[in-house]
Structure 1
Amino acid sequence: MKIRYTFVAAAVIALGCVGLAQAQEKTLRLLTWADYAPADVVAQFEKETGYKVELTLSNNEEMISKLRATGGAGFDLAQPSQDRIAGPQTEFGIYKPMDLSKLKTELFIPSMLDATKINTTVAGKVYGLPHIWGTDGLVVNTKLAKMENYTDLCKAEFKGKVAYRLKRPTLLAFAFASGKDPFALYSNPKAYTELMDEVGKTLTACKPNVKFYWDNKDQLLNGMRAGEIVGAMMWDTGGWKLNNEKPEIQFLAPKAGALGWIDTFAIPAKGKNDAAAYAWINFNMRPEIAAKVAGSAGNFTASKGADQLMDAKLKAQFATSFPEAALKNIKWYPAVPAGIEDIEGKVLDRIKAAN
């Protein structure tokens, strides 16, 4: 009798494992940014493919942390920025190479696809594909302030009236504004440390001008709406959103160049459903779907032809913020080598601790 019960129990467990495996085969566990998987797009994907999407919202730091903690398990598809793939992959091995044969590469803007493949290649293998892109620059209330470069945020006349993040993009922006190219120094830790130390001194001296170091978009947008903040370093979509509400608030590409980022598709090393991941990528790069996602995020997309389906007002705002010279002057983030963020972290800690 005991043997029979053992057999039955084993059979139940086996059936349970089969059921779990089947559920995993029909589920896409997606680790992504807010607004990159709008409900109507998810619903259409689920209806067309039969996959169920499990959504986890995150950011670059959290994505790396989650995947590092599990060795690349827990998710089938992630969306880190292109500069956050090669370094973490080299250090932690948290992604698996892309199988380009499973992709409809004709759906991508060729130049953006080629550039992202180069920036996400490790040991001859590609680990990322482009999805959504945008920039960081200056958002200025033109009735209350005149600014042309990041360092204008530190002018004495704007004491207590500006905001920016105490994060690496601010360090890089101020480095470019000082006339240096921080990206060119990535391979020289000593020179990079010296440059970051100089930027740290500038930002420490600038602290009296900072109303707050923003860490969520509502805090920043509300500060700009209320006139508490007359200028900020922030992303383009936030500036265009405010411009819709108050035409005097404008997103400007600084003289030193806006910082350009590309968020990607990357497949975690221990993802269990690559088929669902590739299905989601190909689905999202269809122009009509890409336009919906871009509209939700308020940014532009690497999907070929999607720009023709974008909101006319957003296209006009983009054209105003980025005349041809400013577009050519965008500083695109390259891959971040190991150790660079440790250097930056120490400088940010010193700025935070300074009186």
Structure 2
Amino acid sequence: MSRVVLASLVLTAGAAHADDKTLRLLTWGGYAPKDVIEQFTKETGYTVEVTTSNNEEMISKLRATGGAGFDLAQPSQDRIAGPQTEFRIYKALDMSKLKAELFIPSMLKSTEKNTTVKGKVYGVPHIWGTDGLVINTKTSKATDYADLCAPENAGKVSMRLKRPTLIAMAFASGKDPFALYNDPKAYGALMDEMGKKLADCKANVKFYWDAKDQLLAGIRSGELTTAMMWDTGGWELNKANPDVKFIAPKSGALGWVDTFAIPAKGKNDAAAYAWINFNMRPEVAAKVASAAGNFTASKGADQMMDPVLKKQFADSFPEAALNNIKWYPAVPAGIEEIEGRVLDRVKAGK
């Protein structure tokens, strides 16, 4: 799954309907497959308008309208509490309208905790995955994020100039950046330190990637031997070339959970709750997981997944690596501004 490609499209299954028969969904690419939308429309009568985006744009769109324009959004769990506290762009979920038995209990509990603001829950889990390292095992011996900057990989690596890279480098340096979230001064000092590491690492970088196709092409061609990227990208490459593998770094893969959250001025809560419950049914979740390339928080859906993907997951995540995933907690207000300033300096070569 690519978490960086932006697009907009409208998928409808029938004639235009009034707002009360339309679900306006703001989501990631691959999370609302055409066959799933058609099945939902057939079962419920709701049509679905899909706009694909990413975390930053979701927040920007909802902030600009005060939470209007969409009935359901899918931000990552760490991007809910902060924006809600600052901008009030979501409405609290009515948990009685959700079928809790369809969710993996531990994931539901964790996401509820991470999306709670003033005692109210604003998000429940849907799709989850990780960022780590993808390497060509014939040409790279990398085992942790710091190896992206090792002399032997000069000119052969790729990463993004985004916050996950700063956080990854911090963990690889033996620090816990998440533990400093509530101490802006200490967090800023740590990010400055990681920014210097990335600046010193520039000579190793063939290119900073933004688009999925560019990155995958670089690894396929052998131009890149090591990259920080998402798990399913590595598994996709592995199908064509067994020497290319996604590995969980020694300091821990970075784990994310994309949620379901209802915008503050959404007009069709009934359709939103219907879509959530529909998507968490194991047989439906398995279809979405196959399209997205990631696992879901639906209880039992993993048993219906593609067996090749199940094996790749097991190879990349033995029990110790799975237990060592560093899950993104809620991002407090101001943290991303600190990171943005550091990344701007790295881009400027300062």
- TM bucket normalised to smaller: over 0.9
Matched, 1:170 2:165: yes
Tell me the amino acid that sits aligned with residue 65 of structure 1: S
> Residues 121-169 of structure 1, C-alpha deviation per residue, up to 9 Å, x if partnerless?
0000000000000000000000111100001010112111100010000
What is the CA–CA distance in structure 1 between the aligned matches of 2:211 and 2:39, rounded to whole Å?
30
Matched, 1:272 2:267: yes
Q: Which residue of 2 aligns with 1:126?
A: 121
Q: Which residue of 2 aligns with 1:323?
A: 318
What is the CA–CA distance in structure 2 between the aligned matches of 1:165 and 1:275, rounded to whole Å?
38
CA RMSD, 1 decimal = 0.9
Q: Which residue of 1 aligns with 2:25?
A: 30
What is the CA–CA distance in structure 2 between the aligned matches of 1:296 and 1:222, rounded to whole Å?
21
Structure 1: runs of 5 or more not aligned: 1-20
Aligned mate of 1:249, from 244, 253, 265: 244
Could you tell me how far 1:22 is from its partner in structure 2?
6.7
Q: Which residue of 2 aligns with 1:54?
A: 49
Q: Which residue of 2 aligns with 1:160?
A: 155
What is the CA–CA distance in structure 1 between the aligned matches of 2:129 and 2:100, rounded to whole Å?
21
Could you tell me how far 1:235 is from its partner in structure 2?
0.3
Q: Which residue of 1 aligns with 2:175?
A: 180
Q: Which residue of 2 aligns with 1:91?
A: 86
> Residues 84-128 of structure 1, C-alpha deviation per residue, up to 9 Å, x if partnerless?
000000000000000011111100000000000000000000000
Q: Which residue of 1 aligns with 2:141?
A: 146
Aligned mate of 1:63, from 58, 61, 64: 58
> Residues 200-222 of structure 1, C-alpha deviation per residue, up to 9 Å, x if partnerless?
00000000111111001111001
Q: Which residue of 2 aligns with 1:18?
A: none
Name the stretch that deviates more: 62-71 or 149-158.
149-158
- From the CA coordinates, give the structure whose radius of gyration is larger: 1
Is the contact made by 2:31 and 2:291 (CA closer than 8 Å) also made in structure 1?
A: yes
Q: Which residue of 1 aligns with 2:13?
A: none
Structure 2: runs of 5 or more not aligned: 1-15
Q: Which is helix-richer, 1 or 2?
A: 1
Q: Which residue of 1 aligns with 2:3?
A: none
Matched positions, count: 335
> Residues 57-82 of structure 1, C-alpha deviation per residue, up to 9 Å, x if partnerless?
00000000000000000000000000
Tell me the amino acid that sits aligned with residue 305 of structure 2: M
Matched, 1:337 2:332: yes
SS at match of 1:29: strand
What is the CA–CA distance in structure 1 between the aligned matches of 2:121 and 2:99, rounded to whole Å?
15
- TM-score by length of structure 2 reads 0.95
Which segments of structure 1 move beyond 4 Å, counting only runs of 4 or more? Answer: none
Matched, 1:239 2:234: yes
Tell me the amino acid that sits aligned with residue 106 of structure 1: E
What is the CA–CA distance in structure 2 between the aligned matches of 1:264 and 1:185, rounded to whole Å?
24
Q: Which residue of 2 aligns with 1:200?
A: 195
Percent sequence identity over aligned pairs: 77
- TM-score by length of structure 1 reads 0.94
Tell me the amino acid that sits aligned with residue 288 of structure 1: E
What is the CA–CA distance in structure 1 between the aligned matches of 2:219 and 2:144, rounded to whole Å?
18
What is the CA–CA distance in structure 2 between the aligned matches of 1:202 and 1:216, rounded to whole Å?
23
Matched, 1:45 2:37: no
